Amino acid sequence: MFITFEGIEGCGKSTQIALLATALQQAGQRVLLTREPGGCPIADQIRGILLDAANTALVPMSELMLYAASRAQHLAEVVSPALAEGVIVLCDRFSDATRAYQSFGRAIDRQVIEALNSLACDGISPDLTVLLDCPVETGLGRARQRIDSTSGPREERFELESLAFHQRVRDGYLQLAAEEPGRFVIVDATVQPAQVASAISDAVLSRLAVSV
């Protein structure tokens, strides 16, 4: 099963996807936890370009193509082999992020997005997508705290975008969820992390027919 986590900056994806991975492993499941952009050495190098705030000259179409290149490599090296072995793959962002950020956020034509996603994904799509939803002000505040407290690379190119941009992204995610209600589970990310984790576990484990 291929499960993706989506949401605006600071919604808590990284925390919650790790908690779900632990819960699934405790239930006896084989789990691979990965992320986009990145997930393998070549894709991680592309991630460095995409998230570096110094790359202000990066135009939307170049950004889009870099995401597609990173995704194609990540799928070929990591996701597809794991799925073929029956592993549950949990991915922090996937193709819906491209739709939300590059189509709704950057205003690139949705058909262009879908064409590139189709090429990069080669028939692979999520079985379930967990959308962690919160107001943009809340998410950006959390993201800024995280960035300021880290000693690693400051991956903040998107955090520096306007509130209007992030609102378009959030609205885009909610529209995507409305288009595919059978695949998306929307979780309120403003409540306590334990409550968020419980809601996610209930949604995911019920579909997997396992318990913890």
pLDDT attached to residue 159: 79
Q: What is the mean pLDDT of residues 50-56?
A: 92
Residue 203 has pLDDT above 70, yes or no: yes
pLDDT grade for 212, boundaries at 50, 70 and 90: very low
pLDDT grade for 210, boundaries at 50, 70 and 90: very low
Residue 100 has pLDDT above 80, yes or no: yes
| φ/ψ of residue 13, rounded to 5 | -55, -50
pLDDT attached to residue 161: 83
Over residues 76-91, the pLDDT tens digits come to 999 999 999 999 999 9
DSSP secondary-structure letter at 127? S
| Greatest distance between any 2 Cα atoms in the chain | 48
Over residues 120-145, the pLDDT tens digits come to 999 999 999 999 999 999 988 887 77
Is the backbone peptide bond immediately before 126 cis, with ω within 30 degrees of 0? Answer: no
Residue 147 has pLDDT above 90, yes or no: no
Over residues 158-179, the pLDDT tens digits come to 877 888 999 999 999 999 999 9
Tokens of 43: 């894709």
pLDDT attached to residue 207: 81
- The DSSP code sequence of 98-124 is HIIIIIIIT---HHHHHHHHHHHHTT-
Tokens of 176: 């995507």
Q: What is the mean pLDDT of the chain?
A: 92
pLDDT grade for 153, boundaries at 50, 70 and 90: low
Of 69, 70, 4, 62, the residue nearest 32 (C-alpha): 4
SS3 210: coil
**Domains in the chain with CATH codes:** 2-208 (3.40.50.300)
